[in-house]
Amino acid sequence: MSILYYTLNNVVFTNFALYSTASIAKMMCMGAFTLTKRFSQDAFANPEDLTLARHHSSVVTTNDPDVERVRRNHLNDIENIVPFVLVGFFYVATNPNRDIAYWHFRIFFISRLIHTVCYQMPLPQPGRFLACAVGYLTTLSMALQVLFSTRP
């Protein structure tokens, strides 16, 4: 009989679904935040977007510091959240200890929130670096457990 790991009856999968979806929603919010920042700064990257500018003197720019800060934060989310979700699916299939899995998921999500706060405020280093590193190491820990559990 095969075990169904990807069902809402599996509490590890349920927690993974919660935290991965929350992480993805957070990443999507960064896209909306980038758009909001572009409108507030009249910093549009494409000529056809200038029709949306508040000031007719606006010009195409890809180097507005405020927009670029949000955009880099969003890119960092993409670079970290996508691997977390992909590795997490394999991790759930290893039937990990429930409590350890919960903490992996929680720590990752909280690290991404802290990273964003550190990036957008901006707070001095090493806060942002540590927040990013914690999330990265969490995903790496899950990846290593998948690799070790799938050895022939």
Question: What's the CATH code of the domain at 139?
Answer: 1.20.120.550
- For residue 108, being part of any structural domain is answered with yes
* Contact (Cβ atoms closer than 8 angstroms) between residue 45 and residue 60: yes
- For residue 4, being part of any structural domain is answered with no
- For residue 114, being part of any structural domain is answered with yes
* The pLDDT value given to residue 73: 97
pTM over 0.85: yes
* The pLDDT value given to residue 124: 93
- For residue 26, being part of any structural domain is answered with yes
- For residue 140, being part of any structural domain is answered with yes
* The pLDDT value given to residue 54: 74
Q: Read out DSSP for 59-117?
A: ---S--HHHHHHHHHHHHHHHHHHHHHHHHHHHHHT---HHHHHHHHHHHHHHHHHHHH
* The pLDDT value given to residue 134: 98
**Identity of the amino acid at 86:** L
* The pLDDT value given to residue 132: 97
Give the structural domain span for 115. Answer: 11-35+64-150
- For residue 19, being part of any structural domain is answered with yes
Into how many domains does the chain fold? 1
* The pLDDT value given to residue 1: 45
* The pLDDT value given to residue 2: 59
* The pLDDT value given to residue 45: 79
- For residue 58, being part of any structural domain is answered with no
- For residue 72, being part of any structural domain is answered with yes
Burial of 87 (0-12, 13-18, 19+ CB in 10 A): buried
Per-residue pLDDT of the chain (152 residues; tens, 9 = 90+): 457 788 888 999 999 999 999 999 999 999 999 989 988 888 887 878 777 777 777 788 888 899 999 999 999 999 999 999 999 999 999 999 999 999 999 999 999 999 999 999 999 999 999 999 999 999 999 999 999 998 77
For 8-33, b/e burial (b = at least 16 CB within 10 A) is: eebebbebbbebbeebeeebeebeeb
